[in-house]
Amino acid sequence: MPKNLKNISIVPGKNGLLSDTDQAVLTHYLQNPEIPLFYTEANRILENLVACNPEAPELRDKVMNSARRAVDNVPFTAILNPRFTFVDLFAGIGGFRIAMQSLGGKCVFSSEWDKEAQKTYLANFGEVPFGDITREETKRFIPDEFDVLCAGFPCQAFSLAGKKRGFNETRGTLFFDVAEIIRRKRPQAIFLENVKGLKIHDGGRTLDVILHTLADLGYYVPDPQIVNAMDFGLPQHRERIYIVGFRDNLNIRDFAYPEKMGGNPCFADVKERNTVSTKYYLSTRYLQTLRAHRQRHESKGNGFGYEIIPDDKCANAIVVGGMGRERNLVVDDRITDFRPVTKIKGEVNREGIRRMTPREWARLQGFPETFRIAVADASAYKQFGNSVAVPAIGATAEKILEKLGI
């Protein structure tokens, strides 16, 4: 057998035998064998492999066994007897999916173009998401029948912390790919999530275009809601806009978003129970830089700078880029070994000031402890910062299902 055929594994971006689309097809087929398109395409892929490698007749079984291992060895397996079905667009690392599966839903299609996020998604759900949803060859794999379309389309185009571009920027037009899928597939309900800034972007015209587009597609869309993760048991002040819609022929003409849960969540709820690695503690040099940076801003009347979150308070929104991590520093004086484990300027600070860990960010978003962090820290921070507040998504999804009578 050729050397490159001996070790076959399902890994997005790193399988020389199977394309990423092939891997997506095979894992989707194993999770959804009842969908004819996945069955047909999976068999075509396997037949082509055997035809191109006649010296390895056992290749078909090896590939399928590898795909089965990827599907089976995960913390969040597919629902066998689902209450409903959904698609997960701009899936990220699966925040929507965790919430929907916890309510008895089965994902019949996922799409995410970031390779690192695909790795995390695979490690937790046993499925490689399809790639670029703007491409017709990706859209063609979306099943014709499913109940709910979920989409957290990219934050960058509308975020107040970004460059405040919008529909004229490439990412801004991704909504229209969502609209095209809605037009073709006509799901019973839609559930969209975006940054709070969408509400005021371009004087409110961007949101107005979205709402009018959904109405033109034949959907009843109640007033969008600004939802704060803090109101659903998470110690994070994170506001996002939720947009839900119901197909007109269902005659649904009212909808109530979930009530706030109450309680007083705080960082201590998610803080690591054990001493964390020295690598999360700031160096003396970097701490000096942050303090000087903050002082400059304060002298100009600005409040932007690093911030230390007390154990009894809520974190700021965890975001990607800028001062995202530095606005959520904590004091943790349990450290006893101050020897650096990474290359730093200066020494490890003796004040106990550190960044939150990726696992703490996961908890701030409501991800279960069993969720696997399958990538390096830098990617993990990005992934959790771009994800959704799982309990808030779940509470809203439950209200959607109630309206659908599911």
The residues facing 5 across adjacent strands are none
Contact (CB, 8 A) for 63 and 17: yes
Q: The tokens of 250 are what?
A: 């269902």
- Distant-in-sequence, close-in-space partners of 223: CB < 8 Å, separation ≥ 6: none
CA distances for 169 relative to 30, 158, 163, 181, 322, angstroms: 37, 10, 11, 20, 20
Provide the residue type at 177 as one letter. D
Contact (CB, 8 A) for 352 and 336: no
Give the other-Cβ count within 10 Å of 253's Cβ. 9
Residue of 52, 107, 150, 155 marked catalytic? 155
Smallest CA-to-CA distance from 357 within 335, 336, 329 is with 329
Q: The tokens of 134 are what?
A: 């703007």
The residue with tokens 């399988």 is 15
Q: How many CA atoms lie within 13 A of 243 on its CB side?
A: 25
Is-catalytic flag, 155?
A: yes
Contact (CB, 8 A) for 335 and 349: no
Q: The tokens of 140 are what?
A: 């063609």
Residue 242 has φ and ψ, to the nearest 5°, of: -110, 135
Question: What is the SS3 assignment for 348?
Answer: strand
Smallest CA-to-CA distance from 78 within 57, 96, 102 is with 102
The residues facing 105 across adjacent strands are 84
Residues annotated as part of the active site: 155
